[in-house]
Structure formats: structure tokens, C-alpha cells
Structure 1
């Protein structure tokens, strides 16, 4: 599914926040901040809140304002957003070639475990 020109394009910081929010499904800025502290002890509550407000404005997050503390939910499921980002990268960097993208990913180095998982997926696809 190609991205439309007005589809939101998350920044690396926004993707980091989404990685925390997706498993939570929905959360307040305080809950997201507390979860982010595990991997980023330097991040402040004010930074998380501001980022979530910006993401809401960009259409990346939905916001329930019915409670005193606003509850945020990702506007896109993880798989859908990743697919859109992958399509965008494939078009821009690999002239639309999935093969070129996969070969570049494989050349960049994968673990033996990842290689075995990929080979298993390819075998299953043949069956």
C-alpha cells in the first residue's frame, strides 16, 4: 500500500515513543514517561508530553480528553505504520525494488538466528 503524500512520517523520537505506546495500547503522558525511563533515564516528562502533543497534531496519536489526564492511543497499528514506512523507503532508496531492499538488509549483517528464521519463512512459503 503506497503512502499518500500527506501520511504522517514519524521522526526517530516519535518512533521510539510509539514503540513504548503500542504494547500499552493507550496511556497517559505520565505512563508513557515512566515506561520510557527504563531505556532512556534522561527523558523528562515535559519532553514526553510535548512530543505526544506534536504527534497528536500530526495525526500519529489519538487523544481522549474526557478525563483530566488525557489518554493517548496510536492512530496506526504497528504493522500498518511499518509497512507504510517500508514502502516509502523502498520507493525512495531502492527504486521500488523489494529485492534490492532485502539484499541490502542482508548485506548489512544479520545474526545466525535471524538468518535461520528467514530461511524457515522462505521454506514455509514454498510449501
Structure 2
């Protein structure tokens, strides 16, 4: 009887020489999905026209357009009505001077966006943004 048991005994377990590649494939698929999602985000560009060559000093001082926290406009420190802004911007664009846009950090973004759209429609190409400090009252 012992002989029969020995005959039916399984052979000794030999080490398996194959590698389980299922986890490797899972990791590679996750990395592929991450790359597919991340590439369009990383390649998003905002077109900006930068000056080429050495800069020159502009002989005309820049005009300063300020927006306070209530959304009121100021042109070089003087109050400005919304209706008068396009005329001022057209004059500025024809003179070739730069425009500095200063916005109070508490101002509404919608107001800033609307003023910036008006500046763009006027054809202003020399535009600078002044720091994010509260306007002096």
C-alpha cells in the first residue's frame, strides 16, 4: 500500500521559469491613459506676440487705465465713463503709445474681461499689466 501511495505522489514542485506579465500590462495601460490625458493639457498654448530684437525706449509715456473695486474706470487718474473708453483707446492706438492696465484685486473678473475685450477691439497691441495692488482712493 505504501508503494501505491508513493507511485501516485506528485513530482516535486519545480520553480516556474515564466513571469506573470499581467501586472506589467496593467501598469503600462494606466501609464498610457495618463499620457493620453496629460499631453493635450501640456500642449495648450496661448498665442502672444513678443517683440523681436532689441527693445527701444518708447518716447511717449504709457497711458494708465485703472479699474477700481466697484468697477469704475480711471484714465491716468481721472474718472472715465464707459462710453468714452473706445474713443480714448482709438486715440491711443493712433499715437502708438502703450497702455498699462491696472486692476484692483477686489474688482469683478467680468468687469476686467469686458474692459480687456474693449481694449482688444480697439487694436491696442502695446499692453502691459500693472501689479495686483489695491488702487489708492
What's the TM-score, normalizing by structure 1? 0.22
- Structure number with higher helix proportion: 1
- Structure number with higher strand proportion: 2
Higher RCO, Cα 8 Å, sep 6+ = 1
What's the TM-score, normalizing by structure 2? 0.21
